[in-house]
Amino acid sequence: MTITYEYEGALYVNLTNKCNCNCEFCLRHGKAQGSIYTEDSLWLEREPTRQEALGSFLSRDIPSYREIVFCGYGEPTYRLNDLLWLVDELKALYGEKLPPIRINTNGHANLINGRDVCPELKGRIDTLSISLNSDNAKDYTDLCHPVQGEEAYQAMLDFADEAKHYVPHVVMTIVDKDKTPQEIEHCKQIAADLGVTLRIRSFIDS
C-alpha cells in the first residue's frame, strides 16, 4: 500500500480513494486499463489509519522535501480530520524544519464535511490548490460529474473565496485540454475576482 511517495522533490500523501466527483480526466480511470497507476498501487485496497500514515511519514527524511502534498487518488478532504491531525503531529515533531504543506483539492471540503472547514486550515496549511476546471457550472458538471450536481461549482468558488482568509496561498487550476482562449481568459478573470492565482496545467494522459 503506497501512502507516501516522492515526486519532483516533494512528498505526496495518499489517504483515500473516495471522491464525490468522477472527472473525465481523472487518473483513476487508468486503473481499469492496466496503466502504470494500477501497478504503482496508488489505488488503496483500504484506507490507511492515521497512525499508519504517520508511520509512513516517519520512515522518511521529512525536512529534506521541498513540500508535502496531500492529494492521492481521491479527494483528500474526505479525511480532513486525519489530515489535520497528521499536520499537527508533524509540526510538533519537526517545527520550523517541516516543509510547507499543500492540499490538492476539488474545493468541495465544506460540502463533503457538512461544515465550514476553512478556519481549521489556519496555521496548518500553506497552500491550497483548487481545481477550477471550467468557467461555468454546466461545463464543470459535465466534466467532473459531482454527485451534488451544478451547485458544487458555486460551492467550490465559495470555498476558494473564504479559504484565502486562512491559507496564505490559494491557487486555482485548470487543465488546458479542450479550453478555448476565451474560456481561459474567463477562468483568469474568475480567479482574479476571487483574489487568488490561476495556474494552467498541461493535460496528463493516463
- Answer yes or no: are the C-beta atoms of 77 and 44 closer than 8 Å: no
Contact status: 28 vs ligand SF4 (CB under 6 A): yes
Contact status: 23 vs ligand SF4 (CB under 6 A): yes
- Answer yes or no: are the C-beta atoms of 27 and 204 closer than 8 Å: yes
DSSP string, 165-190: TT-SEEEEEEE-TT--HHHHHHHHHH
Using CB under 6 A, which residues numbered 89 to 148 contact ligand SF4?
A: 106, 144
Return phi, psi of residue 163, to 5°. -60, -30
CB of 77 to ligand SF4, least distance (A): 10
Using CB under 6 A, which residues numbered 40 to 79 contact ligand SF4?
A: 74-75
Contact status: 22 vs ligand SF4 (CB under 6 A): yes
Q: Candidates 20-28, 30-38, 83-91, 194-202 — which segment interacts with ligand SF4 by CB under 6 A?
A: 20-28
Binding mask 147-186 for ligand SF4 (x = CB under 6 A): ----------------------------------------
Q: Residue with C-alpha cell 465544506?
A: 110
CB of 148 to ligand SF4, least distance (A): 12
Q: How far is CA 22 from the centre of its chain?
A: 14
Nearer to ligand SF4, 90 or 172 (CB): 172
DSSP string, 5-62: EEETTEEEE------S---TT-GGGGGGGT-HHHHTT-S-SSPPPHHHHHHHHHTS-G
CB of 98 to ligand SF4, least distance (A): 25
Half-sphere exposure (Cβ direction) of 24: Cα atoms closer than 13 Å = 11
Q: Which residues are at the interface with ligand SF4 (CB under 6 A)?
A: 19, 21-23, 26, 28, 74-75, 106, 144
